[in-house]
Structure 1
């Protein structure tokens, strides 16, 4: 299961996985109106089978399915195509549930109820960034303390240990590393990592910062810092506060 926008002839293919037929149909209509081709599936097993057949450019995946758990489906999709953009849908808005999805490899999420415009906007951003990464020629390397990010291979290591990030987490870390020690506001992060036309809502930035900390800082001296009332900054561990 491979592919990226433009890698095959025809429209962008979006796999839609939700066990509610009415919602699946509505999402399919929204995807069609956005100019893409929907491939609906009502459960996890049919989703995996459909994915192998259509080689989707992106996936809209419900977190709760009647057979395989949404996270199980996500992990299997990731095994077959690590770069496939995945947007999770969930009715559970607790922080730990969203972190579980991000940890499993989701690139973004929306909580039910949601607007179709928001889903399309999130998908458009994921597809745009996937296309940008596929055409990346930048071989620059960001180094901050014992943290190393390699731009062309999308690899991240801390103290020599590989760190697995989702596409959105990579974008966030890239932004932080591009401005070491500089405090970036939530608005700046939303503007650069998501879209200037997307207000983000809720605690989207906090969720991704928390997920990134779990991967970058867990068991180590912290590098990602919260500056109360202002935003977030990344500093080499030896810089302290």
Structure 2
């Protein structure tokens, strides 16, 4: 028993010393240990103060006026497409099919009712989007720098507000949209690459009699609204 007690005293002393050491360490972590080596004042400006000072000298009314002007004139500043004006009337047909360069994957329903990712179209497959969706509207593509084409767009769109979309290759589409009270769109590269638009003015669309191709007709001057209407479905 004496040996056991002796060991117990040693154990108690060890615990006490460990606790004291931990307390000392904990207290030391909160103490200011002073500075070692030279120090310098921070000379870099406070960026928050610099931003406030910079903003304080700005004429915000002038900035807002400039931004509003940019927004109002945005459609005037869109770069023009250089598309020739048609010298004769001609119709051609465009096959919009393309060949997939890589597999197309999607969730496929399994026999047990679950879904798993799988290939639905393999690379190399030729796809015609017109087999899956048919556009409802026809496109009228015009160059607004030519006054006669602008007038043509105004008249034809007024007669066919629902099934005709006006596409502008050059000029200010915003001005025409304001006059029409309807949306007017600026031409994009795919109108030429995929739809085969080569001249203005042109009508482009899909007929029920030729559902797999896009019919594109460009018209020579002088422009007759009735003639163009005969090409609409």
Bigger Rg over Cα: 2
Give the TM-score normalised by the residue count of structure 1: 0.23
The TM-score with structure 2 as length reference comes to 0.24
* Higher RCO (CA < 8 A, seq sep 6+): 2
